[in-house]
Structure 1
Amino acid sequence: MTRGKTPSPAASLHEQTVRQHCRALKMPTVAGQFETLAQAAIREGHGHVQYLDALLTAEIEERERKGVVRRIQEAHLPRVKTLAEFDFRQSSVSAARLADLAAGGYIERAEPVVLIGEAGTGKTHLALGLCVAACQQRRRVRFTSASALINELVEARAASQLSRVLGRWERVDLICIDEVGYVPLMEMGAELMFQIIADRAEKAALIVTTNLPFSEWGQVFPNPRLCGAVLDRVTDQAHIIETGGESYRFKRSMAKRGAVS
């Protein structure tokens, strides 16, 4: 397209052809931006190679953005929370330690992460932040509460689909099991959760959030032998992070009330 001139019929035909090629090649960003970037290249005196570089970069960046959005959706996060949104000033958790985890090395090394603390201390927010970071690194992630996971596995077993469902979980790079300890597990549920955890040991990463210290996990897994086996796999090479015993959400709420009054 020539600056300052009305597009000729031939130019319009070429533009239509470019759009058709982009549809065939599934390059919607190129189709949407090739004219605008061409005009910018003319204004700034860029050559053909620079123009092509800018055009393909725009396509790649948009695909990456959409890929992250898709992976976050597939992760079934209850809400999208990032580590940047977490107020580390209200927590005893080290921001540097979480940033190091967010880099993803623990996923490559198949190491568990265990977040332990009372309700309102940020366990789930931190877990979600790590899940989002993993999605941004092209990892397959799945988030679930302990109760939802058990329900899914029990239903799959009743429908003779357990192997298929376990296989689907096994293909995920990072699983986050939230709220372990809030509800005691029946024997079948405990065994099924152990199977998920055992299948990932030393092979794939796992995040667990819990309100119980390890000494009280017998309340969740009433079979002592099974409880010991679960703890062995969850804590082996694990990053254990204590989020504290005082709710920072409660402190934040009280601070807001004080500011208003």
Structure 2
Amino acid sequence: MTSRFQELMNNLEQLRLTKMSAYLPEYLDQINGKQLSFTEAMLNLTKAELDWRQGEHVDRIIKRARFPQVKLLKAFDFDFQPSVNRQLVMSFQDLAFLEKHENLIFIGSPGVGKTHLAIGVGIAACQQNKRTLFVNCHELLLRLGAAYKKGTLDRCIRRYARYDLLIIDEIGYLPIDHDEANLLFQLINARYEVHSTIITSNSELSTWVEIFQNPTVTSAILDRLVHRAHVIKITGKSYRLKQQN
């Protein structure tokens, strides 16, 4: 015959109260030993369950954001990159820039940590339940171009425009032709003063006209990106070279 305890455990499992089920025996011992009251034990059990569910929820949001790897801001070596304003960058975790629809632009040579910082801010956004997407610039342009050819560009742009935070990585690593520049402009324009975008680039903004090969489109893109933006220039050495030494 199934004991009352086993019946309770089965009920918790059917209700998918995973952590309550896992911790219940421990708390029953504390209740029986009069170390905790029933109310205190239940409070702790429900907190454990809620914390676990929140963690699972955040993990799903992070997975959907498609980061190439998980990197936290606290793991960034600010001592190795003294040109980066630690206080400013760490303040991005409170997401005030998202509420103001401001953009972040990280500029620097390859290997200085631009993508790490962008991912770190993105992780912070996910932890606060913000819809976030990380995408390489070249991959983004391929998707936009394919949507244009299929006649679904408007729908594609609306999808990207809905994200609370869109991270576009590595603008400038590969050349961008006239048509691609126009597609990127349409996306940036759709997000302008509605949602925030993070950009990483190895090129100074003044040289973007060489990347986009169109002064008019370049000016329009920069006008919307920089209007409300924090531009963080990283002038230090490459982490990759540091690791090789």
State the distance in 2 between where 1:112 and 1:128 align: 14
- Given residue 33 of structure 1, which amino acid in structure 2 is its aligned partner? Y
Say whether residues 1:71 and 2:61 are aligned partners.
Answer: yes
CA apart distance, 1:196: 1.5
Amino acid at match of 1:34: L
In structure 2, C-alpha distance between the alignment counterparts of 1:62 and 1:21, rounded to whole Å: 15
Aligned-pair CA distance for 1:33: 2.5
Corresponding position of 1:31 = 21
Q: From the superposition, tell whether residues 121 and 42 of structure 1 become closer, same or farther in structure 2 (CA, over 3 Å).
A: same
Describe how 1:113-132 pairs up with structure 2 within 5 A: 113-132=104-123
**Cα distance in structure 1, aligned partners of 2:142 and 2:233:** 28
Partner of 1:232: 223
Report deviation, 1:157. Answer: 2.0
Q: TM-score under structure 2 normalisation?
A: 0.92
1:166 alignment counterpart? 157
CA distance, structure 2, for counterparts of residue 44 and residue 96 of structure 1 = 47
Say which one has the larger Rg.
Answer: 1
Q: Percent identity?
A: 33
Match of 1:43 among 30, 33, 46: 33
8 Å CA contact retained: 1:191, 1:226: yes
The answer to whether the Cα contact below 8 Å between 2:80 and 2:236 also exists between their aligned partners in 1 is no
Runs of 4+ residues over 6 Å off in structure 1: none
2:189 aligned with 1:194 = no
2:133 to 142, 160, 175: 142
TM-score by structure 1 length?
A: 0.87
Aligned to 2:45: 55
Code of the residue aligned with 1:176 in structure 2: it is I
Q: RMSD in angstroms over aligned alpha carbons?
A: 1.8
**CA 1:86–1:245 in 2, change beyond 3 Å: closer, same or farther?**
closer
SS in 1 for 2:66: coil
Q: Matched residues in 2 for 1:26 and 1:195: separation?
A: 45
Farther-moved stretch of structure 1 (34-43 vs 85-94): 34-43
Q: CA deviation at 1:17?
A: 4.3
Matches within 5 A, 1:200-239: 200-239=191-230
Instruction: Please give the alpha-carbon distance, in whole angstroms, between the structure 1 residues aligned to 2:190 and 2:230.
Output: 19
**Alpha-carbon contact 1:181-1:219 (below 8 Å) kept:** no
Give the Cα–Cα distance (whole angstroms) in 2 for the partners of residues 96 and 150 of structure 1: 33
Could you tell me whether the CA contact under 8 Å between 2:110 and 2:202 is conserved in 1? yes
| Contact 2:12-2:18 at 8 Å conserved across structures | no
CA distance in 1, matches of 2:9, 2:168: 48
- The question of whether the paired residues in 2 share the 8 Å contact of 1:112 and 1:234 is answered with yes
Greater Cα offset, 43-52 or 208-217: 43-52
- Structure 2: gaps of 5 or more residues: none
Contact 1:29–1:58 (CA<8 Å) still a contact in 2?
Answer: yes
Distance, in Å, in 1 between the alignment partners of 2:76 and 2:33 is: 43
* Residues in 2 aligned to 1:210 and 1:106: alpha-carbon distance in whole angstroms: 20
Aligned residues: 244
